[in-house]
Amino acid sequence: MSIVVTGATGQLGRLVVEQLLARGVDPAHVVAGGRATERLADLAERGVRTARVDYDDPATLDAVLAAGDTVLLVSGSQPGARVAQHRAVVDAAVRAGVARIAYTSILGAEDTPLVLAPDHQATEAMIRESGLPFTLLRNGWYSENYVQPLQQARETGVVASSVGDGRVASATRADYAAAAAAVLTGEGHENAAYELSGDTAWSFDDLAATYSELLGREVTYVRRTPEEQRAALLAAGLDEGTAGFVVTMEGNIRDGALAHTTGDLARLAGRHTTPLVEALRPAA
């Protein structure tokens, strides 16, 4: 029986594997799966079993999963394609008779207005319908999402958004990975759903202050209306679809969809979540 981590070539999946090893899991009992197995070579050298796992190729899933395994399905990165990809993993897990499947969903999945939610809601439903024991890891926002705006603020002294006074309870990928590893190795998580978010919900005024501290220059938060933000994004070269997505996502933040602080993440990780300033310090 193994712990199988899909998407291990991605940033979150890789960190989950590292956290499993840090918790003392025998590398031979860990399977790191991804499309580009060459990116897993260093893990193989440490005794981790590596395998090609492609959500679009069910045969690769059948070759990896076995009865009694615990599986972490790291959500795909292609909106519109994810539901079918996730279905392939869930179906393969059923065929194999795995002991439990965990899934990286989205914060407040049951009733959130988040534009990203529908794929996750559909996946949660198929997992429940599969009859497999499950754990739903409803991840909030990554603090690393604010690395690129940090670099822009370095040049402009501005962080501009239409989030208004909305707040974000973000955490680092490493924080979420620590919680996932705890769930994969612990007991009592069957058929549970965890709302995972950072300890502190910060505002964009706080974000600007954090940028100022890290960059050693004044950074100001400029509030824009959604219309102003869309126009600015289009002028910066974004296509209509991407600009619309960003503005919609900022509207979700404005409405409080990412502000929930449940404490689940810190409790599972066994430590406080990483403060925003520390999460962004390496990028500064």
pLDDT band at 34 (very low <50, low <70, confident <90, very high): very high
Q: How far is CA 27 from CA 32, 159, 177, 197, in A?
A: 10, 43, 17, 29
Sheet holding 70-73, edge to edge: 49-52, 30-34, 3-5, 70-73, 100-106, 134-139, 192-196
Per-residue pLDDT, 239: 97
- CATH number reported for the structural domain that contains residue 160 in this entry: 3.90.25.10
Question: For the residues 264-271, what does the mean pLDDT come to?
Answer: 98
- CATH number reported for the structural domain that contains residue 99 in this entry: 3.40.50.720
Among 141, 251, 117, CA closest to 200: 141
Question: Looking at the structure, do residues 96 and 47 belong to the same domain, yes or no?
Answer: yes
pLDDT band at 87 (very low <50, low <70, confident <90, very high): very high
State pLDDT tens for residues 161-216: 999 999 999 999 999 999 999 999 999 999 999 999 999 999 999 999 999 999 99
Residue 50 has pLDDT above 90, yes or no: yes
Residue 45 has pLDDT above 90, yes or no: yes
pTM: 0.96
Question: Looking at the structure, do residues 57 and 146 belong to the same domain, yes or no?
Answer: no
Q: Which of 139, 155, 181 is the last residue of a domain?
A: 139
- Domain annotation covers residue 95: yes
Structure tokens at 184: 């994969």
Question: Looking at the structure, do residues 149 and 283 belong to the same domain, yes or no?
Answer: yes
Q: Which of 139, 154, 180 is the last residue of a domain?
A: 139
Question: Looking at the structure, do residues 146 and 111 belong to the same domain, yes or no?
Answer: no
> Running DSSP on this structure, what letter comes out for residue 24?
T
HEC string for 27-96: HHHEEEEECCHHHHHHHHHCCCEEEECCCCCHHHHHHHCCCCCEEEECCCCCCCCHHHHHHHHHHHHHHH
Question: For the residues 125-145, what does the mean pLDDT come to?
Answer: 98
Question: Looking at the structure, do residues 112 and 161 belong to the same domain, yes or no?
Answer: no
Per-residue pLDDT, 80: 81
- Domain annotation covers residue 189: no
pLDDT band at 77 (very low <50, low <70, confident <90, very high): confident
The range of the structural domain enclosing residue 21 comes to: 3-139
- What is the H or E stretch that residue 102 is in? strand 100-106
- Domain annotation covers residue 216: yes
Give the number of domains in the chain.
2
pLDDT band at 9 (very low <50, low <70, confident <90, very high): very high
> Residue 109: helix, strand or coil by DSSP?
coil
State pLDDT tens for residues 89-128: 999 999 999 999 999 999 999 999 999 999 999 999 999 9
Question: Looking at the structure, do residues 26 and 159 belong to the same domain, yes or no?
Answer: no
Question: For the residues 141-149, what does the mean pLDDT come to?
Answer: 97
Question: Looking at the structure, do residues 14 and 123 belong to the same domain, yes or no?
Answer: yes
Task: Name the percent of the chain lying above pLDDT 70.
Answer: 100
